[in-house]
Every structure is written in C-alpha cells, then in structure tokens.
Amino acid sequence: MTESIGESAGIPRLSENSAGLPGAEGMVKPLLGCIADDFTGATDLAGMLVRAGMRTVQMIDVPTHPLPSEVDAVVIALKSRTVPAAEAVNSALVALDWLRAAGCRQFYFKYCSTFDSTDAGNIGPVTDALMTALGTDFTIACPAFPENKRTIFNGYLFVGDVLLNESGMRDHPLTPMTDANLVRILQRQTQRQVGLIRHATIAGGAAAIREEIQRLRTAGVAIAIVDAISDADLMQIGAACAELALVTAGSGIALGLPQNFRREGCLGNRIDANASSYPVGHRAILSGSCSLATQAQVARAIAAGCPAFKIDPLRLADGEDLVAKALDWATPLLSGNRPPLIYATADADNVRAAQARIGAVPAGALVEQALTRIAQGLVERGVRQLIVAGGETSGAVVSALNVTGLHIGPQIDPGVPWTLSLGASPLALALKSGNFGAPDFFTQAWNVLP
Ligand code: ADP
C-alpha cells in the first residue's frame, strides 16, 4: 500500500481558506468528507455515520457558511445523480475542494444502493474526476446495504431476493436499471479499468482484502466492485479501506470506516449527534417517489385513514393549478389528528403514460415544481414537521425551503433518520429515499420524533 490519507501539501489550513470558510481557527477538523449525489442519499449516509459514532452534519450543496463546531464528518448533498455528467463532475470537484479546505482526511463519494445511473454517468465520471483530483490510482465501488437487502455477490447487485434488473428499479422514471452486473455497468461509464473483489476474499478479512487490492492495483485495475452480503463484510471492507484517499459506495461502507479513525485515537465513542430541540407544529407528508416501496407506503397510509391528495402530471401539464387546490385542501386538515399526504406517486404504467404524453424530464420537473411550491405553502401555514419521499423530490423541496444544512437525528428505518434543519427557524424533516422505509413509514415515523 503506497497511499496515505494524511493531509496533502495542497490542503490549506482553516485560517488560509480562500473563501474564509469553513470555520474558526482552532476548531476541531472533520475527519471524513463525503459527497453524496442526491439528497436522501446524503441523509442516509449521515445517519449511518451517526450510528457508527461520528458527529455528522449534512450540508445542502457546497456551503457558503461556516461549519458548526465539533463535527467529525461532513456530508455535502449534491443534486447530481441525473444531471449531465459534466455538471455532476464540476459540482463534485467544487465540493471536494471545500472538504479539503475544511481539513477532511478521507473522502467518500456516496451514490444509491441500487447504483442509480445511466451509461452516460454519473457514477463513473464523478469517480474518475475525484480520483484525478486526489491523485489516487485506486478506489472501491460498493453500493451494498445488507440491512436494506442490497447485497453484492460475484459483482451482481441483488435487491432482496432478485437481481437489480428484475427489481422495481427497472422502471425508475429517470435511471432505469436494466443490468445487474456492476462491473459491466461501471465499465461502461469509465475509461479506467474496473475489477472485482469477490466474496471469498471478503470472507478472508481485512488483510486478505488489502492484499487483493494490492494485486488488482498491480494488474492495472483502478476501481474494484466489492462483494458484500452482510454488515460483517462491510466492517472488514471498511477496515481494509483505511488508507484509501477515496472510497465510493452506498451508505453501507460508512459502518466500517469510523473504526479506522477510532483505532488511530482521533475519534471518541460519543454518539451525541442527536439534536436536542425539535420544533412543535403542524405535520404533513409529501411524496414524489414512484418506487415500489413508496407506492406501498402511500397505499398503506391511505388505507390507514390518512387524508390524501393526488398530484397528476397530466393535469399540471394542462395548466390546472393543483398547487392552490392541494393547499386549500390541506389547510383545514393541518390541525387534525392525521397529517395530510400529498403525493404524485404512481405505478409504472401511469408514469409511462404521463411520460409518453409530456416527456420524462418535463413530467418530473412539473411534479417537482408543484411539490416544492406546496412545501413552501405548508410551511407558511405552520407545518414544522415534514416527511418527504423521493431523493430528487427531497433535494428540490429542501432547497425551496432555503434549508442550508441538517443535524442528523434518530433513525426511523434503516437509511432514514429524522433531521433538524440548521438555522433560526428549524424544521423537523424526514427525507426518505424512494426505496427505503417500512410499509407503515408515513404513519409510524412520527413516533420516533424526539
Ligand atoms: P426516488 O427516490 O424513488 O428515486 P425521486 O424523487 O428521486 O424518487 O425521483 C422520482 C422522479 O419521478 C421525480 O423527478 C418526480 O418528479 C418524478 N415523478 C413523480 N411522480 C411522477 C409521475 N406521476 N409521473 C412522472 N414522473 C413522476
């Protein structure tokens, strides 16, 4: 192993940071700097880091304000999963610069546990750009999240019992996944050579994985897909990655990285990232995800008596003011017992029908625009506790609400914590990646609020 994750000569000290950021002289520097390609993915990762004992803050986009003090890990949430590759690369590099300036020692590119991407990117191009910027010749790619039934074996990604391309991801509105072989998928996105670390090696433990990394490196492999079928695998992989400048992964690997810092003595055993004061106010639920999991959650909430209002992209395209109608509908319900649910969630046939008439991107944009305006209207009407379903949707809603960062709080379901927005008028936000959460998520999440 030739690589070191120590501070490189190019990283300015905090006081030298050209932007005057990110913090005060003498502040404890964060150890791990993470770049997530979507909003709920960032929250998922931040929640994992909190569980593993790192005090973590999630920033929405590259921050323009100082970091809160006493932070072990920073997750910058980009909205770059489905933008053109050049744009995704550019935003990732800006985020990397900021994290390096903040003093982070190791870097983590987080994507979805279902490897959401197309042949144009953005996982390959962003990984390439980060590797070049960090001057590193090797990294891993491991979207596994066994707790949420995303496992990798022989380089094939499983969602539950089925291959990725047989799961609901084959019908995703923006990133349909029609191949389950991660080596093949990633190789289509990068000029660098992609290899595989098989489960037999993972089962041999961290030393065996490190040896295999060295062997692959010598053979010219730059990015290795890594098998993982259990949390124990993630711990071994995490330990083997201690000296990599960059890891690329879903959130699972975050379970195994903090132990490296703890072993070095630069991370205590504190888990005090839970925010203390959550705001009291009205509750509401917004759903812009069409995943199978969210479809089931919407159906379950409606069956449980949750009042629900549907946003149909075809009606939006026809110019109907569904934003005003949804807000008029929701207003009297806010003081009731059951939080109102406003959803665009639809099954694959309905999504296809809308896309056929108005196009996939315009349909998504119309829905996002409507849901963000509804979110603003709900907050104006006193909503302070909000559940949002959908990665892209959450990113859009949070930026419309001018939220710049989140303290990560208690976990609701694997991959979904409650969060508290930074700043003067905090909101309690549960931002759920489409695929995540138990079927009763929309009714049960409230019980976990501190
Ligand atoms: P997920 O986390 O499930 O991927 P996202 O919010 O990231 O959810 O992505 C879902 C996308 O589908 C969004 O761009 C959203 O606007 C779009 N969308 C939501 N409902 C519909 C619908 N009924 N028809 C077409 N597109 C939709």
CATH number, domain with residue 206: 3.40.50.10840
Average pLDDT, rounded, for the chain: 90
pLDDT over 90, % of the chain: 78
Atom of ligand 1 at shortest distance to CA of 346?
A: 23
Closest CA to 32 of 1, 61, 60, 67: 67
**Same domain, residue pair 259 and 290:** no
pLDDT of amino acid 75 = 96
Residue 154 within any structural domain of the chain: yes
* 249 shares its domain with 313: no
153 and 259, same domain (yes or no): yes
Nearest ligand 1 atom to alpha carbon 344 = 20
Total tally of structural domains belonging to the chain: 2
Q: Please tell me whether residues 182 and 148 are part of one structural domain.
A: yes
Closest CA to 49 of 267, 198, 206, 308: 267
Task: Report the pLDDT value the prediction gives residue 237, as an integer from 0 to 100.
Answer: 98
Ligand 1 atom with the smallest distance to the CA of 174 is 11
Domain end among 231, 263, 295: 263
Give the contacts of 359 (CB within 8 A, at least 6 positions apart): none
Q: pLDDT grade, residue 269 (50/70/90)? A: low
Helix (H) or strand (E) holding 225: strand 223-226
395 touches ligand 1 (CB under 6 Å): no
Distance, in Å, from the CA atom of 252 to the CA atom of 249, rounded to the nearest integer, reads 7
If asked whether residues 191 and 113 sit together in one domain, one would say yes
pLDDT surpassing 90 at residue 194: yes
Between 23 and 2, name the one with better pLDDT. Answer: 23
Q: What is the pLDDT of residue 28?
A: 67
Residue 336: give its domain's CATH number. Answer: 3.40.980.20
Tokens at residue 396, please?
Answer: 């859009």
Domain that holds residue 156: 8-263
The CA angle 356-359-360, to the nearest 5 degrees, is: 100
Establish if 270 belongs to a structural domain.
no
Atom of ligand 1 minimally distant from the CA of 173: 12
Q: What is the pLDDT of residue 53?
A: 86
Q: Assign residue 359 a region: left if phi > 0, alpha if psi is -120 to 50, beta otherwise?
A: left
Same domain, 197 and 231: yes
Cα(236) to centroid of ligand 1, in Å?
A: 35
**Structure tokens, 104:** 């982070």
Does residue 191 share a domain with residue 98? Answer: yes
Name the DSSP letter for residue 271.
-
Residue 167 covered by a domain: yes
Residue whose CB lies within 8 A of the most ligand 1 atoms, among 80, 112, 290, for a mutation test = 290
Q: What average pLDDT does range 152-168 have in this prediction? A: 97
pLDDT in tens, 336-379: 999 999 999 999 999 999 999 999 999 999 999 999 999 999 99
**Are residue 288 and residue 226 in the same domain, yes or no?**
no
- Does 137 lie in the same domain as 102? yes
Residue 409, pLDDT above cutoff 70: yes
What pLDDT score was predicted for residue 1? 37
**pLDDT at residue number 276:** 56
* Residue 227 alpha carbon to ligand 1 centre in Å: 29
Tell me: the pLDDT tens digits for 80-101? Answer: 999 999 999 999 999 999 999 9
Q: Residue 27's pLDDT is what?
A: 56
User: How far is 350 from 339, CA to CA, in rounded Å?
Assistant: 26
Q: Computed over its alpha carbons, how large is the radius of gyration of the chain?
A: 21
**If you measure from the C-alpha of residue 37 to the centroid of ligand 1, how many angstroms do you get, rounded to a whole number?**
16
State whether 258 and 289 are in the same domain: no
Q: Say how many Å lie between the CA of residue 115 and the centre of ligand 1.
A: 17
CB of 256 within 6 A of ligand 1: the answer is no
Collapsing DSSP to helix, strand or coil, 222 comes out as: coil
Ligand 1 center from residue 66 Cα (angstroms):
33
